[in-house]
Each structure stands twice: as C-alpha cells, then as structure tokens.
Amino acid sequence: MTTEICAVNSDSLAAAKKILQGGGVVAFPTETVYGLGGDARNDEAVQRIYQVKGRPSDNPLIVHIHSEFDLSSLVYDTPYAGRLRQAFLPGPLTLVYKSKNNVSKLVSCGLDTLAIRVPAHKGAQEFLRYVDMPIAAPSANLSKHISPVSAEHVYSDLNGKIPLILDGGICSGGIESTVCDVTGEFPVVLREGLVSKEMIESVAGKCEVYKFKEGEQARSPGMRYKHYAPRCATRLFEAGQIEEAKECFAENHRIGKKVYVLCEDRFKSNFPSDYVLNLGRTEYEIAANLYAELRKGEAVADLIIAIKPEKKDGIMAGVLNRLSKACANE
C-alpha cells in the first residue's frame, strides 16, 4: 500500500471519507499529537486500528467528535461534565462517560465507559465535520514508540500500512490529551496532560489524580504499558542531579558513544551545544518540543540522557509523566 501525505482540503477530505466508509483508517492532525482514525461504529475498522499500531487489544481508544456532534447519542452525561466542556472544549481534554453502547464494543475493550474528545485543531475539526461520524483514534505511531507530532513522524512509523495522512503541520500542544473520568461524584484524572488537575479543580471544585497501584485492576488500562519510548538507550536524571548527568555524558562521550542530552534551556550550558536536544524555556514550549526532540535524538544517538524539568506541577505533571515513561531507567 502506498501512503499519501496530503494537506487538509476538499479533495483529501473526500478521499478520507471514502476510506473510512470502506472500513479503512487515516491519520489526521490534532493540537496534541496525530491520530489514527477509523469509524468507531465499525468493528472491522476498529480492529484495523489495533492491528496497524500493534496496540494491545485491552487498551481502549478515544472517540473524537466535532463540536456540534450529538454527544447524547454516545454517552450519559454528568452535571459537572457540562461545566468542564464549557471551560475547556474544544481542546486537549478527553472525558470518560458511561457509554450508551452505540459504538463498536472493541473501542472500550469491554468497559462500560467511553472516552470522548473534541479537538480544537482547525484541520481536526474540518475532518470530523466533513466525515460526520464518531472517529476512534489512538496516536498514529507504532505502539510503544514516541507519539507523532508531524505528518513526517506518522509516515516514518506507518508508511505502507495506511493509505492517507492528512497533514495539518506540527502539533502545537505536543503531548496527549488529559484523560478525565467524569462518571463519579467528582472528576478523576486518569492521564495528565495540557489541561491540568489544578485547571479542572478550579471549575469542578474538586479533582483527584488516579494513582495506579500494582496488583489492582487499572482504571485506565493504557497506563500499564511502556510508552513513548525512543529506539535508543536512555538515562533519566532529576533536575538536581546535573553533576551526575555531566559525569554520565563525559564517560559515555569518552568511550565513543553518540550521547545527547535532552534538557530544558536553562541546563544547556552544562553540555557541549552540539549534543543538546533543547526543550525550550516555557512550560508550553517544553511540552510542545518533547516528542519532536526525542525523535530527533533517537535518529542520531546511542544514548539519550534526559534531565527532568525543575517545575513539577500544572502541565509539567503531564510532561514528567511522558518523560519518565519514555526514558525510564531500566
């Protein structure tokens, strides 16, 4: 199969709709990362998504809809969820509701809930409006690899496996959406992201972050898996361990390893500039640059030394979660 990359326009949208109607899958841009979408009502299409990515079949998918799509056709609502939608949607927040079971059972892997997201990205909204169907979509990368934030990243993982990538440029957000369960008395964050716990709390009054305990049945099955990993060795250091990171760099550099350092701008002067993968200065820059710099790094490095950013709360909680999973010390 040849994989075409096309800008989002009337021709490529018509081609995408035809593919989806036939049970196929297409990649599309969002403000977080690129998605690999199929008709959520079609078992065959949903199965194809898992197969193309090599995704474990017990890791449920998020359904994407446009702003005017009838949410009540898919899920049961909760009073405070409306306030969250008002405050943050369209945007990088996925809400998990009780499902009305009107999509393929494979989407939620047998759970009685359904995760729904309304992306803000202009190309994503155009795509979802044009096809006007609920689109099940995980990130458009091979399972366990770094999520894609450009059409080229999608191409390098899925070339030959999907017919079409809608190119909407570089994703401005950079990490996956916040996933928040709204089936209970108050919202519970299952995966941290660009809509932080603090932001949700300010609207809903109360919000907790779910902590997975070993041995317990995961409330969000995807959290069990190794994720977002570059295809080279990694070492992870705390912001307070710069001296150790410098030593690690020097040792590996001396023995001829191609070693690169992924860090925020303020730490870059500790390392030779040719070997720095710079995450930038602000929280939003760091989130937006994380996956692009990891992909750049894996293309040239034997070893990536990652240094955690200093700030830990707000949206940095999501960044730290991704960085820790990508660069876990094993």
Torsion sign across C-alpha atoms 121, 125, 131, 134: positive
**Ramachandran sector of residue 139 (left: φ over 0; alpha: ψ -120 to 50; beta: rest):** beta
We find the least distance from the C-beta atom of residue 167 to Mg ion, in angstroms, to be: 19
* Contact partners, residue 62, CB within 8 Å, separation at least 6: 94, 115, 116, 117, 136, 137, 138, 177, 179
Query: Between residues 54 and 240, which has the closer beta carbon with respect to ligand AMP?
Result: 54
Query: Between residues 93 and 96, which has the closer beta carbon with respect to ligand AMP?
Result: 96
Nearest CA to 192 among 32, 65, 10, 34?
32
- For residue 307, the surrounding DSSP H or E stretch is strand 303-307
Asked if 59 interacts with ligand AMP (CB under 6 A), we say yes
Taking contact as CB under 5 A, which single stretch among the options 5-13, 135-143, 234-242, 310-318 is the one that binds Mg ion?
A: 135-143
Tell me the site size for Mg ion, rule CB under 5 A: 2
Q: How many CB atoms lie within 10 A of CB 39?
A: 23
Asked if 220 interacts with Mg ion (CB under 5 A), we say no
Asked if 145 interacts with ligand AMP (CB under 6 A), we say no
**DSSP state, 145?**
B
Pick from 30, 59, 78, 139: which binds Mg ion (CB under 5 A)?
Answer: 139
Residue 223 binds: one of ligand AMP, Mg ion, none (C-beta under 5 to 8 A by kind): ligand AMP
Taking contact as CB under 6 A, which single stretch among the options 106-114, 125-133, 202-210, 266-274 is the one that binds ligand AMP?
A: 106-114
Distance, in Å, from the CA atom of 80 to the CA atom of 68, rounded to the nearest integer, reads 19
We find the least distance from the C-beta atom of residue 55 to Mg ion, in angstroms, to be: 8
Asked if 114 interacts with ligand AMP (CB under 6 A), we say yes
Taking contact as CB under 5 A, which single stretch among the options 98-106, 134-142, 253-261, 315-323 is the one that binds Mg ion?
A: 134-142
Task: Quote the distance between the C-alpha of residue 205 and its chain's center.
Answer: 26
Pick from 121, 153, 191, 322: which binds ligand AMP (CB under 6 A)?
Answer: 191
Strand partners, 172: none
Query: Between residues 191 and 295, which has the closer beta carbon with respect to ligand AMP?
Result: 191
Distance, in Å, from the CA atom of 88 to the CA atom of 71, rounded to the nearest integer, reads 16
Query: Between residues 111 and 232, which has the closer beta carbon with respect to ligand AMP?
Result: 111
Torsion, CA 164, CA 166, CA 106, CA 57, rounded to 10: 80
Query: Between residues 108 and 252, which has the closer beta carbon with respect to ligand AMP?
Result: 108
Give φ, ψ of 28 to 5 degrees: -145, 155
Pick from 176, 192, 264, 283: which binds ligand AMP (CB under 6 A)?
Answer: 176
Asked if 138 interacts with ligand AMP (CB under 6 A), we say yes
Distance, in Å, from the CA atom of 194 to the CA atom of 287, rounded to the nearest integer, reads 8
- Residue closest to ligand AMP when measured from CB atoms: 222
Strand partners, 93: 178
Taking contact as CB under 6 A, which single stretch among the options 18-26, 56-64, 77-85, 162-170 is the one that binds ligand AMP?
A: 56-64
Q: x/- contact string, 293-322, with ligand AMP (CB under 6 A)? A: ------------------------------
Asked if 78 interacts with ligand AMP (CB under 6 A), we say no
Taking contact as CB under 5 A, which single stretch among the options 137-145, 149-157, 266-274, 320-328 is the one that binds Mg ion?
A: 137-145
Torsion, CA 276, CA 282, CA 288, CA 292, rounded to 10: 0
For the chain, how far is it from start to end, CA to CA, in angstroms?
A: 37
The residue ranges that bind Mg ion (CB under 5 A) are: 138-139
The residue ranges that bind ligand AMP (CB under 6 A) are: 59-62, 96, 108, 111, 113-115, 138-139, 176, 179, 190-191, 220-223
